[in-house]
């Protein structure tokens, strides 16, 4: 494909994604709520298991991969519903562009944490990798995502870096946070706060977008 044509096509797709910002914000609200609630429950369960077994290693990686799978499935359902209300296919060019932005940081965080866990590494560093990687992934969508999502990404990135530095800095309280507590503070609390600040009316947002397109 001609480079000029490819650049023009990418700009067109980005413009479409920006026009759909209201729809994506509406979808992200309930997804953030489910993610936050699941993270809190997983953290409580993991911490209780840690206490109940006298401090034995908990299945940290497996627990949070299960949370990821649950939230990803729920988000896919909402995206499918939104696409159906707009009369569009789910796997559009815009969807692929968004995935190209999101997946690299997430893949790096996942692979490095997988290697770290395989060698018996501290769960705290896996948590920091996931928190920072997720923040970078959200920030990578800044060209077309709602500002609220970009700000959420910034909060995750800062939190991930602070939690990583806390083990060697003067942040005594943060440095003593367990890996599950770190995940609850970020993936739990941040997502619940985000969900409380954005609208949830997916159907209304999709119909509004469709009306603007036909006007």
Chain segment 65-87, per-residue pLDDT in tens: 999 999 999 988 887 877 777 67
Q: Are 143 and 14 in contact (CB under 8 A)?
A: yes
Is the pLDDT reported for residue 42 higher than 70? Answer: yes
d(CA 101, CA 12): 16
Give the Cβ contact number of residue 37 at 10 Å.
15
Q: Phi and psi at residue 89, in whole multiples of 5°?
A: -75, 155
pLDDT at 153 (0 to 100)? 95
Q: Phi and psi at residue 167, in whole multiples of 5°?
A: -65, -20
pLDDT at 45 (0 to 100)? 85
Which residues span the domain enclosing 147? 3-214
Highest mean pLDDT among 53-57, 68-72, 86-90: 68-72
Q: Are 123 and 179 in contact (CB under 8 A)?
A: yes
Report helix, strand or coil for 54: coil
pLDDT at 29 (0 to 100)? 82
Task: List, in order, residues 6 or more apart from 158 with CB less than 8 Å away.
Answer: 135
Q: Mean per-residue pLDDT for 7-33?
A: 59
Is the pLDDT reported for residue 32 higher than 60? Answer: yes
Q: What is the mean pLDDT of the chain?
A: 77
* pLDDT category of residue 207 using cuts at 50, 70 and 90: very low
Report helix, strand or coil for 189: helix
**145-190, pLDDT tens digit by residue?**
788 889 999 999 999 998 888 876 555 555 566 788 899 999 999 9
Is the pLDDT reported for residue 35 higher than 80? Answer: yes
* CA 126 from centroid of its chain's CA atoms: 16
Please give the angle made by the CA atoms of 114, 35 and 70, to the nearest 5 degrees. Answer: 65
Task: List, in order, residues 6 or more apart from 56 with CB less than 8 Å away.
Answer: 50
Number of domain units in the chain: 1
């Amino acid at each position: 494909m001609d480079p000029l044509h490819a650049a023009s096509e990418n700009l067109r797709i980005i413009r479409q994604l920006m026009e759909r910002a209201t729809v994506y914000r509406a979808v992200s609200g309930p997804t953030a709520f489910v993610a936050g609630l699941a993270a809190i429950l997983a953290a409580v369960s993991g911490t209780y298991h840690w206490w109940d077994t006298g401090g034995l290693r908990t299945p940290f990686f497996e627990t949070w991969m299960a949370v990821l799978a649950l939230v990803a499935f729920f988000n896919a359902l909402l995206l499918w519903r939104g696409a159906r209300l707009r009369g569009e296919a789910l796997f559009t060019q815009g969807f692929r562009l968004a995935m190209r932005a999101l997946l690299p940081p997430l893949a790096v965080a996942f692979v490095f944490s997988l290697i770290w866990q395989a060698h018996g590494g501290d769960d705290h560093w896996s948590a920091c990798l996931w928190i920072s990687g997720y923040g970078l992934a959200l920030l990578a969508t800044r060209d077309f995502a709602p500002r609220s999502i970009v700000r959420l990404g910034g909060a995750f990135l800062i939190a991930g870096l602070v939690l990583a530095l806390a083990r060697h800095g003067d942040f005594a309280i943060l440095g003593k946070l367990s890996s599950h507590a770190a995940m609850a503070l970020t993936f739990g609390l941040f997502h619940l706060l985000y969900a409380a600040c954005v609208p949830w009316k997916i159907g209304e947002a999709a119909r509004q977008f469709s009306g603007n397109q036909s006007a």
